[in-house]
Structure 1
């Protein structure tokens, strides 16, 4: 097994210098550091993570707290892409990921207790009840935390342009001639309220009928039930905006099973820009979020707080893109 002493000998320097290069100390020449890291890689050096943790007072792990109500787990179409980007950026920076839960063996712990027991350097949170007491406790702790798709002055976060997304999507439908547009919102969070306001402002600008129906994000059962209730009401709109693409796909299936054609009889749009929407024929109209940008940004923000030892509470906004697919049609005047 290759040791730091072997690398030091190959580079013609001391083992202390090699150690400084691995631990990114400031008092080492950048060229020397690059030469040491290159030599270590060529020699197949594998760092001793336990020794590294002792010397740096870090475990080099970032916790991931994720528990969506849809029970989709790692198959969650939206979060899976975000998590992959988090993983790539963390690994590139020398960190591992570990999942945080309330269960430790046969005992229940709070999220904060779990993080402290695992000694995670930081935590990234997504798809969870951010207002729960345990999550709030974690966000107010000494541990660097970054929330994804959650807006609050109490924690650092990565969010999309949610207001703009619903606003331009609603305007797009209005430009197609739609005057009766239903928006099915997801769980009532700060992000959801931004989307509702985006929809409302576009509707009110044209003095149109406001129709908002409560639903849930990534919830097949609720989406089907709400869509069926709308069909049975006998008051179908000309267009429906679902909380997310997953809901839009189930909504389209439910409408078609009731012999309501999309887009011939009713237009449908989603939000997120997941790959499944591209596979649909015709392609789903949606607002595409930069999921990889959200994940990469969350990892970088968390790592910066860890390495500077300064907890910040800033919000970073990532852009969106309207995808004008074929599930929305222009109405005849």
Structure 2
């Protein structure tokens, strides 16, 4: 017979309430008491039944995960993967599991909200929404605790990287290397990242009064390598070819580098390239990619903390957080003043 919470209470001499507080990570238990109860749990091999735990705490101990992005690659995207892994570790430390849902249940298509209500979750994290569609709006407006990554809203908790400043850092750096013909491969403008990074690029170009042609901006689409390659192909057809290209995502940058090599040019000798994200592939590319590093560990952890705060308060708490970025200098850029 499996041991129960009552067996733990009897063996330790503490009340059911105290044991329950330890099991559910409540802070108002002394370290000595917590250590004794945890030791006893390990000794007797106690594993709480999830249904009983839910009844006892009035929580499902589950957090729903939604990916909304055009490429339909979801968690396989390196940036999203890293953020969710950080988020998972943080909430897992407090006893929560993650639930990635399908909107199809019993051969019926249901909204994300309906699916979460059907399965039972304590809160939801929504990663990388495009412009609001009805399903995103439904999650924003519902009372269920939620946190969003890469969205602008005053109605919910949001965690975003400082996309605008990241672009400023790139142009500042390229300008310091002597580049004056700096092009930009932008991400889709219906995404927050694409829009903010493009605005940062425009603001930085204006700061240096570079007066660059509009043809120096190419849309790379939804941050994939194919979009980056096609955009770079177009830039290379320009009569007044850029000496440097700032690409709004590392996967797009890798595609752009492929295009440059296909045209018989060298990186960085002929064209310098800067990406954005600092995915793992960036350091392993040839040459290694200069890029803007997003702090995925901090994004995931802060998103987790904001959501747990709402779950514990049993209400939505609209808070916006911006996570700093940093420039990572590698081999794909060159000082043309020294060439």
- One fold, TM greater than 0.5? yes
Does the CA-based 8 Å contact 2:66-2:126 persist in structure 1?
A: yes
Superposed CA offset, 1:251-272 (max 9, x none)? 1011101112111110111000
Q: Secondary structure at the match of 1:101?
A: coil
1:197 Cα deviation after fit: 2.4
Distance 2:72 2:79 in 1: 13
Alignment-derived partner of residue 39 in structure 1: 40
Does the CA-based 8 Å contact 2:289-2:330 persist in structure 1?
A: yes
Alignment-derived partner of residue 238 in structure 1: 243
Superposed CA offset, 1:137-156 (max 9, x none)? 11110111111122221221
Alignment-derived partner of residue 335 in structure 2: 330
Sort the Cα spacing of 1:231 and 1:151 in 2 relative to 1 into closer, same or farther, 3 A.
same
Distance 1:212 1:143 in 2: 40
Alignment-derived partner of residue 8 in structure 2: 7
Within-5 A mapping of 1:160-239: 160-188=161-189, 189-210=191-212, 211-239=216-244
1:332 Cα deviation after fit: 2.8
Q: Does 1:252 align with 2:257?
A: yes
Superposed CA offset, 1:65-112 (max 9, x none)? 014322323321111111111111111010000013322242101111
Alignment-derived partner of residue 73 in structure 2: 72
Alignment RMSD (CA, Å): 1.9
Q: Secondary structure at the match of 1:19?
A: helix
TM-score normalized by structure 1? 0.93
Question: Mean alpha-carbon deviation: is it higher for 263-272 or for 212-221?
Answer: 212-221
Sort the Cα spacing of 1:191 and 1:225 in 2 relative to 1 into closer, same or farther, 3 A.
closer
Aligned residues: 333
1:234 Cα deviation after fit: 3.6
Alignment-derived partner of residue 319 in structure 1: 324
1:34 Cα deviation after fit: 4.1
TM-score normalized by structure 2? 0.92
Alignment-derived partner of residue 88 in structure 1: 89
Does the CA-based 8 Å contact 1:65-1:123 persist in structure 2?
A: yes
Does the CA-based 8 Å contact 2:64-2:123 persist in structure 1?
A: yes
Superposed CA offset, 1:189-235 (max 9, x none)? 33333222221222111110343222223323322222222223444
Unpaired runs of at least 5, structure 1: none
Superposed CA offset, 1:119-152 (max 9, x none)? 2110101133241111111111011111112222
Does the CA-based 8 Å contact 1:217-1:244 persist in structure 2?
A: no
1:24 Cα deviation after fit: 4.9
1:26 Cα deviation after fit: 7.2
Q: Secondary structure at the match of 2:102?
A: coil
Q: Secondary structure at the match of 1:295?
A: helix
